Amino acid sequence: MSSQTSVMVGGDPLRPEDVVAVARHSARVELAGEALERVAKTRALVEDLADDPDPHYGISTGFGALATTFIAPERRRQLQASLIRSHAAGTGPEVEREVVRALMLLRLQTLATGHTGVRPDVVRTYASLLNAGITPVVREYGSLGCSGDLAPLAHVALAAMGEGRVRDADGVERAAADALAAASIAPLELREKEGLALINGTDGMLGMLLLALHDLAVLLDTADVAAAMSIESQLGTDAVFASDLHALRPQVGQAASAARLRTLLAGSPIVASHRDPSVCTRVQDAYSLRCSPQVHGAARDTAEHALLIASRELAAAIDNPVITDDGRVQSNGNFHGAPIAYVLDFLAIAVADVASISERRTDRALDPARSQGLPPFLADEVGVDSGFMIAQYAAAGIVSELKRLAVPASVDSIPSSAMQEDHVSMGWAAGRKLRRAIDGLGRVLAIEVLTAARALDLRSPLEPAAATGAVRDLVRTVAGGPGPDRFLSPEMEAVTDLVASGAVARAAEQTGGMR
């Protein structure tokens, strides 16, 4: 559970950490009083327009390509319910709980702005669903990242109506009606405009972006740790990380990673052992060692740009039509996911490249022609034992997949809705593949950390730096040291858990090695 006990919705814009707290750690949500006042005020405007004989999109008309079809007052509740039922057309595997909760929270935030025209009851119901731990079953495929994440959001709205399937707070799948009744939540009966307001947002792709940025921050810190362990264990030099060298190229992320590498390697007896030119005649290290700050730093800068876009989107109110501050009900195109889709794709490129350079460092450690005296594949008895040979195969296979996942989704578009929606962002697809890429990066870094920990042990009696040594010791709590071949997969999985949880980065930080 999160140490953050609650998150306020409807006051200041949500922060990225608020979304993670609710989505991943089940923090409660509270509604700001002024939010419900705004919602009630704009709802009154919608109800006035519902009585107007002139058509108003989403209030007294059909949707999409049917926007010119006038709907009589007695059919409008059916119109809203039919919209949700027909649009809850997702298919494929179930989407992760944290993604669905992020989507729900972000839709709630927009509803609470008062720009959508829903009743206060709708806002309260979404907050109640989150606080009760009820998570609608959402399927993998169904969003084109334009006109909002339609199908995923419709599955959520369907559950709020007491229809469809959900998972309760214990993760048990059950009928939505039963779960709502058990939580004393009354199902919604949607009125004018409300169905449209519940599905016309970029909430799914934004939620995936925010979760990915949270995880990537941990992995980029870990990448610096892994690189330091590899550089140290392969007898690389730290001279190339000097601050004056990196000041010659004023890239912010690069300078940050170089500074971390300097600190991580500070005081290393292994590095000190070959500083003397008479001991080490190598002029310069290979790119995968020497250029680690340049690659990791570029990824850091990419993440900073993505965070800027995400922060802007967190301050947005996405709906169509939207109710403006001066009371207009105005059609618009703010639901188009291009801003988010681009950075989701951009991050997938950065993730693939960080994993690629990590795998190259791992491969060097296993090759006696390049590892500076380490045994082939770090094997105990060469020829009988294979050491980490196949661990590198696993890393290489993941990196190959990450390169495929780096192909942008946002450059594709398939027209829909009888050509009314003739250009779409594919931002949802970009988010889905980035989540898989983040998982792959964590695994590749874990393999490097596991490999470098063994390589450091094989440099005994020389000792590593305090920070890298602390990480080596952490790895030893879940994976054995050098010795005959053993079942390696469980150790790889255990170190992957240490990487993903941030334990590897924290172990280095606690020695003062990550500033």
Pairwise CA distance, residues 268 & 282, whole Å: 19
Strands (E), 23-158: 28-31, 91-94, 135-136, 139-141
Name the active-site residue from 57, 126, 141, 287.
57
165-167 and 135-136 beta bridge pairing: antiparallel
How far lies 364's CA from each of 58, 212, 227, 285, 451, in Å? 61, 29, 12, 11, 10
114 burial type by CB count under 10 A (0-12 exposed, 13-18 middle, 19+ buried):
buried
Strand-pairing partners, residue 29, are: 7
Distance CA 406, CA 429 (A): 12
Rounded CA-CA distance 515/510 in Å is 10
Contacts of 12 by beta carbon, 8 Å cutoff, 6+ apart: none
* Pairing mode, strands 135-136 and 28-31: unpaired
- What's the CA gap between 164 and 281, in Å, rounded? 69
Helix (H, G, I), strand (E, B) or coil at 331: coil
- Closest by CA to 465, choosing from 220, 228, 218, 224, is 228
- Single out the residue of 336, 279, 380, 290 nearest to residue 150, CA to CA: 336
- Tally Cβ neighbours within 10 Å of residue 266: 16
Known active-site residue 57: yes
Distances (CA, A) of 321 to 111, 131, 150, 484: 13, 29, 15, 67
The residue among 165, 163, 162, 155 whose CA lies nearest residue 198 is 155
How far is residue 209's CA from residue 336's CA, in Å, rounded to a whole number?
A: 15
CA distance 222 to 475: 13
Active site positions, annotated? 57
